[in-house]
């Protein structure tokens, strides 16, 4: 009764839809072009033939596919199309859990009387997305989130894979171990010591052996290998986050530029929180230095917030010791990211929190101006200098399932 709907090469597909001259051509979305220091946000299937994939450095993508058309990320347009997709999904069930800008889980139990069995619902969703938005989606249908997610990836683009209840283990068995959630390079190498190459191989390993090698993560791996995933479709705050990242054109040690960038990233995340009607209970910082070493730090907040000032203050406090350490090694900053996590529904503030009330009203006024006149119609004075990223030109959030759960 669970569907995983995943739009195919979403950013690139939107651009090809809107610009017919790009159809059939390799399109790469991300940064400012082939010489940009950023990474690929999306690649059309014509570009993927050459080995281009998401998160690849743009310069590498250019070397692999020099004939590709490089386009900047248009976050505002993609967010608008994402909302339209989610509106279609909610026609079929209220239980929709978006896990990134281009994919979502659906629990369609109770929808059969109106729309047919789960495979029929999947076909209807694919048809609606194609006819109304001019895009394609791949859908996996299964009894668990894990299996539905893996199923949706197998026949892209425009695929539909159905796994009958009770057939999860047999479906997973021949697939390479890398397809299983939580199996990154470190875990893959460790499992290779036991002769594990496929998910079926992992399912055959005694659970006590996995527990001795991986601790508490061992039994989890064993369950996943058999298709067991008790997680329901929902909006659990602990499993959700919103983030923005920025890769500097030139590595920088300029403290003012770094702080302005953090403020811009916090502004973008705060705007998305308010759009979604949620507040963050925690903030995390991502920093990558000029040696490509990536550091992440996080902290919980005293009270949930959707204000940029609160997110910025927390991110800056997390960043300062790391910036000193980077400078002490004679390095510079290549990338910064700010994420909000532990998301909860926004609630009315207390009666006597006047200062916060004024800041919230100011934020609401800014949101109203941007909705009417565009994202760039109003900005903080501090962000009008340099090449600070626009608050809503963001990288889509990465769901926990894609981050993996490497032990240690």
Residues carrying an active site annotation: 103
Cβ atoms within 10 Å, residue 303: 12
- CA pair distance 250, 270, nearest whole angstrom: 26
- Measuring CA to CA, how many Å separate 1 from each of 105, 109, 110, 152? 10, 6, 9, 14
Cβ atoms 143, 22 nearer than 8 A? no
User: Which tokens is 296 given?
Assistant: 């992440």
Alpha helices in 157-226 (DSSP H): 168-172, 185-192, 199-204, 207-214, 217-225
Count of alpha carbons within 13 Å of 275, Cβ hemisphere only?
17
For helices 10-18 and 75-90, give the axis angle rounded to 10 degrees: 100
Non-local CB neighbours of 192 within 8 Å, separated by 6+ positions: none
């Amino acid at each position: 009764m669970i569907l995983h709907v995943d739009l195919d090469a979403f950013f690139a597909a939107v651009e090809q839809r809107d610009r017919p001259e790009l159809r059939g051509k390799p399109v790469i979305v991300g940064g400012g072009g082939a010489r940009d220091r950023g990474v690929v946000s999306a690649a059309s299937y014509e570009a993927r033939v050459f080995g281009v994939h998401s998160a690849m450095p743009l310069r590498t993508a250019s070397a692999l596919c020099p004939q590709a058309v490089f386009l900047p990320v248009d976050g505002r347009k993609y967010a608008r199309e994402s909302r339209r997709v989610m509106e279609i999904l909610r026609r079929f069930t209220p239980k929709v859990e978006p896990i990134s800008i281009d994919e979502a889980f659906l629990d369609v139990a109770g929808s059969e009387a109106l729309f047919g069995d789960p495979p029929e619902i999947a076909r209807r969703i694919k048809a609606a997305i194609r006819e109304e938005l001019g895009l394609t989606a791949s859908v996996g249908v299964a009894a668990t989130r894990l299996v539905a997610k893996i199923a949706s990836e197998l026949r892209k683009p425009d695929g539909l894979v159905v796994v009958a209840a009770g057939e999860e283990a047999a479906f997973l068995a021949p697939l390479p171990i890398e397809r299983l959630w939580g199996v990154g390079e470190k875990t893959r190498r460790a499992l290779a010591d036991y002769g594990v190459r496929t998910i079926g191989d992992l399912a055959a390993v005694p659970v006590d052996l996995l527990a001795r090698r991986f601790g508490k993560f061992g039994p989890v791996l064993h369950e996943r290998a058999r298709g067991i995933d008790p997680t329901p479709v929902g909006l659990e705050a602990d499993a959700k986050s919103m983030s923005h990242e920025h890769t500097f054109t030139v590595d920088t040690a300029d403290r003012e530029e770094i702080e302005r960038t953090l403020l811009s990233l916090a502004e973008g995340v705060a705007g998305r929180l308010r759009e979604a009607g949620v507040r963050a209970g925690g903030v995390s910082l991502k920093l990558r230095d000029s040696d490509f070493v990536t550091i992440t730090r996080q902290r919980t907040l005293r009270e949930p917030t959707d204000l940029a000032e609160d997110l910025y203050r927390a991110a800056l406090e997390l960043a300062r010791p790391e910036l000193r350490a980077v400078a002490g090694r004679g390095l510079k900053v290549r990338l910064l990211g700010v994420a909000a996590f532990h998301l909860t529904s926004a609630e009315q503030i207390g009666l006597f929190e006047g200062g916060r009330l004024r800041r919230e009203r100011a934020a609401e006024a800014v949101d109203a101006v941007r909705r009417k006149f565009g994202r760039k119609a109003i900005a903080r004075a501090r962000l009008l200098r340099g090449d600070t990223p626009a608050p809503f030109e963001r990288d889509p959030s990465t769901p926990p399932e894609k981050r993996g759960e490497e032990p240690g």
